[in-house]
Amino acid sequence: MPRFFKEFFESAPFLDGEDAAHIIKSLRMRPGEGLTVCDTRGTDYHCTIAACADGRVELTVDEAVKNETEPSVFVTLFQCLPKGDKMDSVVRQSVELGASRIVPVLSDNCVSRPDAKSLAKKRERWQKIADEAAGQCGRGILPSVGECITLKAVSDSLSNFDRAFFCYELGGKPIRRIDSASTSIALIIGPEGGFTAKEAEMLESGGASVSTLGPRILRTETAPLAAITAVMLETGNMD
């Protein structure tokens, strides 16, 4: 069933703008057909189209149910900027796996260093990719893509999380033993050149656990997917 997001769902519900255009022109849906609207706060509304006209789709709500796809942990992925368009797939697949926030990061070995204007455009595209991925996989929220920050800012923020792991190519402990009281988790992934020794020391001093994803060296776009999967498995969110 087609899925859409609308934060404020009125007593006389409707969709307009790009969503309405997609329903009418691309999906060619008509009155009497069903779709789902999520309020971005974990409730799904199963609806029937009542009318389509002038860029507006009017709906009737058949049922409101709790969304069952959201994980029990809020995972923030701090991803050091990769080269090219790799961040597109990182955002998309991280959302599908259950990440709730993705924050681009600049570190010493980042080759990609776009200026502020380019970053603003990229962030807008990444947020759109995140929104589309959330709809495709049935999420109950719209995961956010944050502003690009420095690795020092990441280190300074780690006290806000129950657990933090940075995945280090020189080894560490597996991502395990996340107790049930841990509801907010930070994952920190380096760029193509990895972390410098100084950066690794800074992150560890900030409270992050030095973690390994196994003996193989993973690409920067593969590592976050492995790390998120490990967290979801460890916390029972892939049962």
Q: Could you report the per-residue pLDDT of 10-42, keeping only the tens digit for each? A: 777 999 999 999 999 999 999 999 999 999 999
Residues 106-125: tens digit of each pLDDT: 999 999 899 999 999 999 99
Q: What are phi and psi of 150, to 5 degrees?
A: -85, 160
Q: Which residues of 9-46 are buried (b: 16+ CB within 10 A; e: fewer)?
A: beeebbbeeebbeebbeeeebeeeeebbbbbbeeebbe
Matching residue, tokens 């792991």: 165
Give the separation between CA 123 and CA 208, rounded to whole angstroms.
Answer: 26
**Which distant-in-sequence residues (6+ apart) come within 8 Å of 161 by Cβ?**
76, 184, 185, 186, 207
Q: Taking residues 92-107, what's their average pLDDT?
A: 98
What is the structure's pLDDT at 177?
Answer: 84
- 0.85 cut: is pTM over it? yes
What is the structure's pLDDT at 237?
Answer: 95
What is the structure's pLDDT at 9?
Answer: 66
pLDDT, the chain, mean:
94
What is the structure's pLDDT at 91?
Answer: 98
Residue 55 DSSP SS3: coil
What is the structure's pLDDT at 12?
Answer: 78
Residues 180-193: tens digit of each pLDDT: 889 999 999 999 99
